Amino acid sequence: MTTTARAISFAPVQTSVSSTVVLDDLSKSFSKQRGWRAVLTRKSHESVRALSGVSCEIRAGEFFGLLGENGAGKTTLFKILATLVTPDVGTAMVSGYDVVRAPERVREVLAPVIADERSLHWRLSARENMRLFAALHGLRGADASRRVDDLLALVNLVEAADRQVSGFSSGMKQRLLVARTLLARPSVLLLDEPTRSLDPISARAFRTFLRNDVALAHGCTVLLATHNAEEAFELCDRVGVLHRGRLVAVGQTSELAREVGEDRFALWVRPADQVAIDALVSRGVIRDAKAFVAAEEGWWRVECDLRGGLEGAAEAVAYLARAGVSVARCEPVKLSLADLLERVLERHTAAGA
C-alpha cells in the first residue's frame, strides 16, 4: 500500500497463517459509460476507481465489518471475492484459492448472501428454492432433504416451507436467503447490508441470529458490509473503513469506537451560553461543539467532543458552573456512522499529510 492509502490501524494487526481472506494491493476501475458523441469523437475512456490498493487479512472465524459511504467500494470488493468481478491489479485469496485463477474452488468455500430478495425464485416455495440450490451445491437425495429441513428449521421457516416465496415478508425472505447460503456449508460468508429492508425489531433479531447461529454455531468467517454503525459494533470483531476505494482504517471494533467515538458527550445546560462554550474550545477542553438545541423546560442540549474523556467532561462541567451555566446532565453519546466515518477520514488525511 502507498503512504497515502495506508490504513490506520487501531490495534496490532496479527498476520496469521489461519487467515481465510487475504487481499493484497487489490485495485479495480470501471469505465464510465460513454454517450454516442464521445464514441463518435473517439473521446478517451474515463474510468471510475472502485478499489485502490486494498490490502487486508481476515482471520478464520472472524466477523469482519466493512464500513463506508455509498460508492466506497464495498460491493465491488464483495463481487471480486464472489468471483463475479475480476480485479485489475492485485490478488484476493479465499482459503488459499485465488479468486481469478481458481474461481470454482472459491465458490465452493465462499458464499455471498445476496440480500436482494429478487434473487429468490418467487414462484417457487421456500423448500423448492432450497432444493434447487442444494442440487447446485452438489447435495443429493436424503442428505439434501435433511440439510434443507435443518436449515429451514434454523431460520424458523418450517411452517412456511411449502408456501410460495412471493407471499413472504421481507424478514422471511432475508432468513431464507441466509438459509440458502448456508446449504453449501461455506467457510466464508459475505453479507451485503443484510438488514436494510428490515424494521428495527426484525433487524435486531436477525443480527442475533447471524451472530449466534451463523457465525458462532457454524464457525463461519463473516464479512459484513453495512451502513449501520450499531450493526457493525454489535456484530463485528474488527471493522475496516473504505473511502473512495481505499481501505483507510482497519481495527478492533471496540478500539475504533473508543479511539474515535468515546469523547462525544451531550451536555444539558441553562442558559445556552455560547461564550462559555467558545471559551472551553479556546482552552482546549472542547475540541468541537455543535449548535445548541432546545431540550425540555428551558434546558439546552449541546453535543461536544471533549478532550480527555471523563476527565475532560469533569473539567468542562466545573468551568461551566463557574461561568454561571447550570449543567443538568452530561452523558456520552454514541457516534452516528456518518460522524464516525468523518473522524476516521480526518485521521486518515492527517496521517497522509
Task: Specify whether the CB–CB gap between 187 and 221 falls below 8 A.
Answer: yes
Which CB atom, from 137 or from 207, has the smaller least distance to another protein? 137
Which CB atom, from 83 or from 221, has the smaller least distance to another protein? 83
Decide if residue 108 touches another protein (CB under 8 A).
yes
Q: Among residues 37, 42, 45, 118, which is the contact residue for another protein, using CB under 8 A?
A: 118
Q: Among residues 49, 121, 185, 307, which is the contact residue for another protein, using CB under 8 A?
A: 121
* Region class of 265: left (phi > 0), else alpha (psi between -120 and 50), else beta: beta
CA distance 112 to 193: 11
Site for another protein in 311-330 (CB under 8 A): none
Which CB atom, from 87 or from 251, has the smaller least distance to another protein? 87
Q: Among residues 25, 69, 128, 237, which is the contact residue for another protein, using CB under 8 A?
A: 128
Amino acid identity of 90? G
Q: Could you tell me how many residues of this chain bind another protein (CB under 8 A)? A: 37
CA distance 257 to 251: 10
Strands (E), the chain: 8-9, 19-31, 47-59, 63-67, 89-94, 97-98, 110-113, 188-192, 221-226, 238-243, 246-252, 264-270, 286-289, 293-294, 300-306, 326-332
Cell of 105: 474452488
Decide if residue 163 touches another protein (CB under 8 A).
no
Q: In this structure, are strands 238-243 and 63-67 parallel, antiparallel, or unpaired? A: parallel
We find the least distance from the C-beta atom of residue 214 to another protein, in angstroms, to be: 17
Q: Among residues 7, 56, 77, 85, which is the contact residue for another protein, using CB under 8 A?
A: 85
Q: In this structure, are strands 264-270 and 326-332 parallel, antiparallel, or unpaired? A: antiparallel
Cell of 107: 465458490
Site for another protein in 51-80 (CB under 8 A): 76, 79
Residue 64 pairs in a beta bridge with 223, 238
We find the least distance from the C-beta atom of residue 31 to another protein, in angstroms, to be: 7
CA distances for 272 relative to 208, 287, 297, 319, angstroms: 42, 18, 13, 14
Neighbours of 291 (CB within 10 A): 11
Q: Among residues 1, 11, 60, 84, which is the contact residue for another protein, using CB under 8 A?
A: 84
Q: Among residues 35, 138, 219, 298, which is the contact residue for another protein, using CB under 8 A?
A: 138
CA distance 247 to 73: 9
Site string for another protein, 279-308 (x = CB under 8 A): ------------------------------
CA distance 181 to 83: 16
Q: Among residues 32, 43, 101, 123, which is the contact residue for another protein, using CB under 8 A?
A: 123
Q: Among residues 180, 227, 243, 301, which is the contact residue for another protein, using CB under 8 A?
A: 180
Decide if residue 164 touches another protein (CB under 8 A).
yes
Decide if residue 112 touches another protein (CB under 8 A).
yes
Decide if residue 82 touches another protein (CB under 8 A).
yes
Residue numbers of the site for another protein (CB under 8 A)? 28, 30-31, 50, 76, 79, 82-86, 104, 107-108, 111-112, 114, 116, 118-124, 128, 131-133, 135-138, 140, 164, 180, 184
